[in-house]
Chains A and B, each alone.
Chain A
Amino acid sequence: MSIFIWAVAFIDLIAVIFIIFGWNGLSPLARRFAVGITIIAFPILGSTPISLHTLDTMKDTSFCLKCHTMEEHGKSLNSDDDEILAAVHYANNYIPKKTACYSCHTDYDMFGGLKAKIAGLRHMYSYYLITPPKPDELKIHSPYNIQNCLSCHDGARNFMTKKNHTKEPGLLEKIQSGEKGCLESGCHNVAHGVKQAMQDALEAAEEKAASDEPTTKEGDEK
């Protein structure tokens, strides 16, 4: 891919040099032709694949986790806690690991990808131009679209026959219509568990510091 793009760029360079230095020797028709080809063909040949390639890399989990604010969310993917939705989906390969964030946080409709890119621009604006929120203060900007869950789970045997989904008459239909959300229902309400994880980490660090303290003192006495 990149060899092709660089080849196009260098041919473009040669064409531009040829036009600029051979400008006076070209007939008006040849000038029209050369300018038209150089301005239209090379940018299309070069920029279309690279644009698609760059847009594709923006779907990567590693791309989303480049901002420090997202570090804790990234850690939650590898958590052992079965309560955490992100961890369950990531660990069991329910979503592609390479595009984990994109799979769940992009709407599965016609403009889902475009809306995700616009949301990404908003994230970038708040990260670089205003003070970004702390990881445990992050909130999803609009209610989570339940259709993103249903696009995979709806119709699956373990979803349709799960006891909790069928314990009340009409509950499954309510979930399927979006009337009852998965996250708000109290059943799957731990998406990333960042707040809890940070609190646990803080407590663990405090405990470690407390347990290390007497050992150092003992060492000093010796």
Chain B
Amino acid sequence: MNRPYPPKNIKIILFLQLVGVFLLASAHYAHTPILIFTIFSLGSGMVVISVLYWLYLMSREFRTIINEIQNVFTKSDQR
């Protein structure tokens, strides 16, 4: 199956990491430990999710490349 890359929902992920970066940037303005913890966890969580999703996309890319290489070898064997 030939899926488009990057998929359209990457925009949601981009937005998620953007919000994450802004939350992290504002974390040290919070004055109570619970606020710092909440903002920091939310921000880093968003950033980590977006990075993990990007890594998943990359692994999919690599899988496609490996499949293509395997196909080349299989075709050459058939010849």
Q: Which residues of A contact B (CB under 8 A)?
A: 2, 5-6, 8-9, 12-13, 16, 19-20, 23, 28, 31-32, 35-36, 38-40, 42-43, 46-47, 50-51, 53-54, 57-58, 63, 66-67, 120-121, 124, 128
In the bound complex, residues from chain A placing their C-beta under 8 Å from that of B36 are 54, 57-58
The 8 closest A-B pairs by CB, nearest first: A43-B47, A39-B54, A46-B21, A47-B24, A5-B25, A9-B25, A50-B24, A16-B18
- The residue from A19, A43, A51, A63 contacting B50, defined by CB atoms under 8 A apart: A43
Q: Which residues of B contact A67 (CB under 8 A)?
A: 33
Interchain CB contact (< 8 A) of B51 among A43, A58, A128: A43
Q: Report which residue of A5, A13, A19, A53 has the largest number of chain B beta carbons within 10 angstroms of its beta carbon.
A: A5
Interface on B for A, CB 8 Å cutoff?
A: 5-6, 10-11, 13-15, 17-18, 20-22, 24-25, 27-28, 31-34, 36-37, 40, 43-44, 47, 50-51, 53-54
CB distance from B18 to the nearest CB of A (A): 5
Query: In the bound complex, what is the Cα–Cα distance between A14 and B32 (angstroms)?
Result: 31
User: Are B18 and A57 in contact (CB-based, < 8 A)?
Assistant: no
5 further A-B pairs in the complex, CB-CB below 8 A; given A2-B28, A13-B22, A39-B13 = A12-B21, A32-B5, A42-B17, A120-B33, A124-B34
